[in-house]
Structure 1
């Protein structure tokens, strides 16, 4: 997964910011995080964090030059205006936004089937990790699935016969991330998949009320190349590669985190966003490598 990269093309120091990202500190036990209030005396999350100051480049020039793609870098900027303007109603998200997102993902990736299995609203002012309906932004470097939990998602959301068949061919998990207002604070930092080494990945437990999932935490690596898209708008969205079954050099995952942008004004508006995660399945000629 790791490769030698040239200096970012068309990226100058003027278009980058210096900021701290929270990595997992080395040498700690397997991290555990809860999606609900844990038992008394148990922390919401275990595993000490280690803040590292990094350079985060403006990816817009590269995206405009066609040099950023989901399968190459693990993330991609897309232009798309949702038909839904009010995301406060769960019923409208399911009725309008999910079908619209499913169609968009099929169009952008060529997948023949898309299965959306969850969505999350976030608000930096009013969100809370204790509120499943409105979460706060995540401020640690992570990825939403692992090489173990990715295939497990197929079995969770398809019947046994179809899951067995689909697992024989290419499938992926993608996060479609959209701001609900122009992002003025806590933008998303995205790590170029080509700069991630296997040793950077630390499997971590994510505890739900009815099961335990698995995500990746990340150890710091000076080879990581970080990017962001300044002032993302509601008519723009990001695709994040969470898992890919291909092992042919295609980006299999990326790392991401919210970060404190030093360019944000003291009175910057809260960051409001919606993300949804989807399984993508390709035809039988896209075999697993």
Structure 2
């Protein structure tokens, strides 16, 4: 894998212009009550209890199904993370620092149907399906490895490389992203637990499915005293009748 230097701009001045259907990401003001929860399993359950109704209301969806095995608490550099928790994938002491999109279009409906099956939810007909991803910073700002987003308007199909991701003996197609000098990267500096980044991983309406990549990056050059990142992220299958 080849590394390139890229400019990552502050997205806060343009936050009112951002759209999930265009750029593919935005910033939401929303406080969660479980930000200081220390037990990872309790954190996961409480986070989903709060976020599922919020996502349903925000998108005016018919119903929402969380992807339970994709709730990830990242505690960067945490050597004390118990091996059992690392193995379960709930707590990870590392970040994904390569540009990627978690779901190629062919994978969206397949992974949604699989999640219904795992949770014992009857499969229903729908007119539209989105995969919405949320990212909350839990540590105090500034964080050492924040998340950056690429404006989906600056990504073209030839930038995307099909690859296969495997977890729990299940494979699905995802995309890696070739470097391009025309890509426009942004992040939200000094995020607090009272706000979170929302980005779109898939939309069955292709006209509203921007190819917005994301990646963590080392921000200690700008903030030498940045605090180790602790964050929680989740994915939601958002349905419309």
User: Normalised by the size of structure 1, how large is the TM-score?
Assistant: 0.74
| Alignment: residue pair count | 228
- 1:204/1:183 CA distance change after superposition, 3 Å: farther
Q: Judge conservation of contact 2:153–2:211 (CA < 8 Å) in 1.
A: no
> Structure 2 residue aligned with 1:138, among 96, 106, 111?
96
Distance 2:44 2:21 in 1: 28
Query: 2:105 aligns to what?
Result: 147
Q: Deviations along 1:88-140, whole A, 9 cap, x unmatched?
A: 32442344210210111112222121110130011111178x82232111110
Structure 2, unpaired ranges of 5+: none
Structure 1, unpaired ranges of 5+: 1-48, 284-289
Query: 1:225 aligns to what?
Result: 184
- 1:177-256 aligned at under 5 Å gives the runs 177-181=135-139, 182-248=141-207, 250-256=208-214
Q: Judge conservation of contact 2:22–2:210 (CA < 8 Å) in 1.
A: no
Query: 1:82 aligns to what?
Result: 32
Distance 2:43 2:236 in 1: 15
> Structure 1 residue aligned with 2:8, among 48, 56, 64?
56
1:105 aligns with 2:63: no
Give the Å deviation of 1:255.
0.3
Show structure 1 runs of 4+ deviating over 6 A.
Answer: none
Give the Å deviation of 1:85.
3.0
Q: Deviations along 1:26-53, whole A, 9 cap, x unmatched?
A: xxxxxxxxxxxxxxxxxxxxxxx11111
Q: Deviations along 1:144-178, whole A, 9 cap, x unmatched?
A: 11111111112202259954612xx1111011100
- 1:92/1:264 CA distance change after superposition, 3 Å: same
Distance 1:247 1:211 in 2: 25
Which of the pair is proportionally richer in helix? 2
Distance 1:141 1:147 in 2: 17
Stretch deviating more after TM superposition (174-183 or 73-82): 174-183
1:271 aligns with 2:220: no
Q: Judge conservation of contact 1:57–1:227 (CA < 8 Å) in 2.
A: yes
**Greater Rg, structure 1 or structure 2?**
1
Q: Judge conservation of contact 1:185–1:268 (CA < 8 Å) in 2.
A: yes
Distance 1:88 1:149 in 2: 33
Q: Judge conservation of contact 1:123–1:134 (CA < 8 Å) in 2.
A: yes
Distance 2:24 2:144 in 1: 23
Q: Judge conservation of contact 1:74–1:252 (CA < 8 Å) in 2.
A: yes
User: Normalised by the size of structure 2, how large is the TM-score?
Assistant: 0.87
